Amino acid sequence: MSNNIHFIDKDWSVLNKLVAENNYSKLIVLVDSNTLQHCLPLFNPVLEREFQVIEVEAGEASKDLEICAHIWQEFSEEAADRHALLINLGGGVVSDLGGFIASIYKRGISFIHIPTSLLAMVDASIGGKCGIDFLGFKNQLGSFSQAKAILIHPPFLATLANDEMLSGMAEMLKHGLIADKKHWQSLVDLDHIDLLNHSEIIKASINIKSIIVEADPFEKGERKKLNFGHTIGHAIESYFMAKDKAIKHGFAIAAGIMCESFLSFKLGLLQQNEFEEINKVLRAKYQQLVFSKAEFSSILIYMQQDKKNAKGKNQFTLLHGIGNAVINQQVDEDLIVESLVYYCDSEY
C-alpha cells in the first residue's frame, strides 16, 4: 500500500504533524451537504488549527465547472495563496471535485483526501485522478494530481446509508475480478453491511488499486484494467443523470460489469461457469436498473464520448478469467447492444 495512505482510528497525529511540518498559510475543508452534517462534527475536534469550510450540494451534479468557478472565487476572496491546503472531507464527488479544484488553482495547491464513503475509500481517493463532468459526460475535464495524504477513518462508514455501502462494494468486487480471485471470493457471500466489521477486506481492496496505479500512474497500460465495467457503466450513469434520475455510481458499475462480463464471455475470454458466477453474485446484490431497448441508442451516444476511446473506437477492459483482465479490446457495436439486451432480459 502507498506510503501516503494512512488508516486512522482515534489518533489523528499524522494529520496535525503534516499540517505543522508544511506550515500551510490557510486550511480549507471542502464538504458536501451530507458530510457537513454527519462527518464534520466528528472531524472538528481533531484538527489543531483553524480552518474555513466550503460546502457544495451532495451528488454528482456538483462535479460541474460552474461549481469549480464558485469555489475558486471563494479561494480568491479569502486570499488563499499557493501555500494553502485543501482538505477534501467527503465521498467520491468531493474527492473528484476537490482534487481537480486544487490541481488547477494557482497551478496547483496541496490537498488531502479524507474519504467518508466506502466508494471514496477504495476507489475515488486513490490514484491521483481528479475530474468533473462536462456537457453531461462523465469526467470529461480532469487532471492527474496526487494527494499529499489519504487518511482512511473507517468509523465514518457508520454514517452511510445502505445504498452507499453497496455502491462502494461494486468497486471492491471489480478489484477482485480484475486482479485477485481470492479477494473476489472473500466478497461473494459477504453482506455489504458486514464490511463495517471487516476493515481488512477494505484494506485489501485499497492495496489492489494502489499496486496498479503505482505501476502505471498516468494510465498508459496496466492502470487501464481498473476501467473494467466503466465503459458501459459510465454511459448508463450519464444517461440516467441526463434524465434527472441520478443513480449511485456503484449501481451503474455493477450493470457495466454484467454487460462487460457478457462481452468477455462472447469473445471467448471468460469461461461460461465464471460468467454465470459473476452474474449470479451481482444479481443477488444489486437491483436491476430499468431502461428499455428504445433507450440503447442514447446510451451508445454516451459511450462515443468515453474518454478512453481511441480513434473513434471504444477501448474495453475485459476479463480473461476471474482475477485477470486484458486491456485495449475493441468490440463491435452489435455485440455491445447484445450485452445491453442480455442485461435488460436477465431474471432478477
CATH number listed for the domain at residues 5-159:
3.40.50.1970
Q: Would you place residue 3 in the very low, low, confident or very high pLDDT band (cuts 50, 70, 90)? A: confident
Neighbours of 222 (CB within 10 A): 16
Give the pLDDT confidence of 163-182 residue by residue, as tens digits.
999 999 999 999 999 999 99
Q: What is the pTM of this model?
A: 0.95
Strands 137-144 and 129-134: antiparallel
What pLDDT, on the 0 to 100 scale, is given for residue 1? Answer: 63
Q: Rounded to an integer, what distance in angstroms lies between the CA atom of residue 182 and that of residue 184?
A: 5
Edge to edge, what strands does the sheet with 5-7 contain? 5-7, 149-152, 110-115, 85-90, 27-32, 52-56
Q: Which CATH number fits domain 162-345: 3.40.50.720, 3.40.50.920, 1.20.1090.10, 3.40.50.2300?
A: 1.20.1090.10
194 or 53: which carries more pLDDT confidence?
A: 53
Going from N- to C-terminal start, the domains of the chain cover 5-159, 162-345
Equal CATH topology for 5-159 and 162-345: no
